């Protein structure tokens, strides 16, 4: 999926004002910035978008979009392109003043599909109810634009911490779903792992939650070593979980059950070995076009001989669970979260190759070791 580059630091500074519309509008401008150098400007510094693009892609009224442009200009995040710049690059309308371009974002963040069948991330956040029923009472004093901004900044933080080769999604040191291994017993020449998810659902680290919902100015680099971690307020925690569930319900993230070399809790060196199952139909649970996974290959080739997954909703009213034959007992199971729309970066390409090789090697080892019972 095509992508563009922007700055997480710049977006955080824009978010300090608490307006979703300004952050969404800036993303539209950044999306339409040229990825090539022009007129002495570095890539992603000249944009051809304006009020109409923000109106259409962020789902804002034209009046609101004009206000976004005005505020971004007043705050120094954009500057009108000069006559000389326009002569060198005809499409230039705005110079985008960004910090380090450290964030790769897919075009689908701002662009809906051409046939209209798939809404962009911005469109999904704009259309969705902004306060989840379970949190509505606690959040009644928080404005819609602030809550929608929480969801957008949480989504951007997810992209910032996603590393497909290392983690198979967002770092489990940010947010994860815990899977508990209930048994490991010899079977078919390998080890049969039986596992169930921790039904307390998803857990997140305070540092990640703060990154998503804390709008206070960032601590200068020189002061970070001396600064004590700030404790999140109950309101901030509620705002984070409201944002997280909004992102889940809009289909912008999904879970994959992965085998890691060791449990990531308390160990920031824990890394992905391979994906066992993708818990999303469209992303690869049952279709070859989606993410690679060991269980899909096993089920395609061998039915339920080497693995079986019981989904949350099933006709037997059984709890969600999984068993799978693996070569040995080493490792840990982790429910990692993946953004549905991903940029076609080198990391994403290497991850696909890595997954396919490891899945093939693991399946071959299991098939060769299998004994009839």
Domain chopping of the chain, boundaries: 3-111, 165-232+251-369
Average pLDDT value for residue range 227-240: 88
Give the model confidence (pLDDT) of 189-222 as tens digits: 999 999 999 866 799 999 999 999 999 887 666 5
| Res. 238: pLDDT tops 60 | yes
pLDDT of 200 reads 65
What token pair was written down for 160? 């910032």
What token pair was written down for 27? 């993303």
What token pair was written down for 9? 């630091």
Give the DSSP per-residue string, 355-366. Answer: HHHHHHHHHHHH
The yes or no reply on domain 3-111 and CATH 3.30.160 is no
| Res. 274: pLDDT tops 90 | yes
| Res. 42: pLDDT tops 60 | yes
Nearest to 322 by CA among 372, 274, 289, 312: 312
pLDDT of 284 reads 64
Burial pattern 142-177, b for ≥16 Cβ within 10 A else e, equals beebbbbbbbbbbbbbbbbbbebbebbbbbbbbbbb
State how far the Cα of 15 lies from the Cα of 299, in Å rounded to an integer.
46
| Res. 100: pLDDT tops 90 | yes
| Res. 294: pLDDT tops 70 | yes
Percent of the chain with pLDDT over 90: 81
| Res. 272: pLDDT tops 90 | yes
| Res. 30: pLDDT tops 70 | yes
Give the model confidence (pLDDT) of 276-293 as tens digits: 999 998 776 556 678 999
Say if residues 334 and 258 touch (Cβ distance below 8 Å).
Answer: yes
Identify which has the larger pLDDT, 166 or 313: 166
The owner of tokens 């110079």 is 95
pTM here is 0.94
Average pLDDT value for residue range 231-243: 96
Identify which has the larger pLDDT, 171 or 289: 171
Say if residues 253 and 322 touch (Cβ distance below 8 Å).
Answer: no
* CA distances in angstroms from 208 to 68, 153, 195, 211, 213, listed in the order given: 28, 11, 27, 5, 9
What is the DSSP pairing of strand 94-96 with strand 46-47?
antiparallel
What token pair was written down for 356? 């396919």
Say if residues 292 and 357 touch (Cβ distance below 8 Å).
Answer: no
Q: How many CA atoms lie within 13 A of 146 on its CB side?
A: 16
pLDDT class of 90 with cuts at 50, 70, 90 = confident
Average pLDDT value for residue range 288-312: 92
Give the model confidence (pLDDT) of 49-83 as tens digits: 999 999 999 999 999 999 999 999 999 999 999 99
The owner of tokens 């004002």 is 17
Task: Compute the residue count for the chain.
Answer: 373
Least confident of 10-19, 293-302, 309-318: 309-318
Q: How many CA atoms lie within 13 A of 343 on its CB side?
A: 21
Average pLDDT value for residue range 302-322: 89
What token pair was written down for 287? 């279709």
């Amino acid at each position: 999926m095509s992508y563009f580059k922007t700055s997480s630091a710049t977006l955080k500074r824009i978010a300090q004002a608490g307006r979703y519309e300004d952050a969404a509008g800036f993303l539209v401008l950044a999306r339409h910035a040229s990825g090539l150098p022009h007129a002495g400007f570095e890539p992603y510094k000249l944009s051809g978008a304006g009020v109409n693009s923000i109106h259409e892609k962020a789902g804002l009224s034209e009046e609101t979009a004009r206000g976004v442009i005005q505020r971004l200009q007043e705050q120094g995040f954009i500057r009108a392109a000069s006559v000389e710049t326009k002569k060198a690059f005809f499409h230039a309308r705005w110079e985008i003043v960004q910090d380090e371009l450290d964030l790769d974002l897919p075009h689908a963040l701002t662009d809906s599909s051409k046939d209209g069948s798939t809404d962009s991330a911005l469109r999904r956040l704009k259309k969705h109810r902004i306060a989840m029923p379970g949190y509505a009472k606690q959040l009644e004093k928080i404005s819609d634009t602030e809550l929608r901004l929480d969801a957008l900044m949480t989504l951007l933080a997810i992209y910032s911490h996603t590393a497909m080769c290392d983690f198979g999604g967002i770092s489990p040191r940010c947010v994860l779903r815990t899977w508990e291994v209930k048994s490991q017993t010899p079977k078919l020449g390998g080890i049969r792992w039986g596992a169930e998810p921790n039904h307390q659902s998803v857990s997140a680290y305070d540092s990640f939650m703060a990154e998503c919902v804390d709008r206070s100015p960032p601590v200068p680099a020189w002061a970070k070593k001396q600064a004590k971690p700030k404790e999140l307020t109950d309101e901030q925690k509620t705002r984070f979980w409201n944002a997280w569930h909004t992102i889940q319900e809009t289909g912008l993230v999904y879970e994959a059950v992965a085998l890691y070399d060791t449990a990531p809790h308390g160990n920031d060196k824990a890394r992905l070995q391979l994906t066992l199952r993708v818990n999303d139909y469209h992303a690869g649970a049952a279709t070859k076009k989606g993410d690679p996974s060991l269980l899909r290959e096993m089920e395609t080739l061998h039915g339920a001989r080497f693995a079986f997954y019981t989904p949350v909703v099933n006709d037997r009213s059984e709890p969600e669970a999984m068993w799978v034959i693996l070569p040995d007992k080493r490792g840990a199971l982790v429910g990692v979260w993946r953004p549905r729309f991903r940029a076609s970066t080198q990391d994403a390409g290497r991850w696909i190759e890595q997954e396919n090789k490891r899945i093939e090697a693991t399946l071959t080892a299991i098939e060769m070791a299998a004994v009839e019972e």
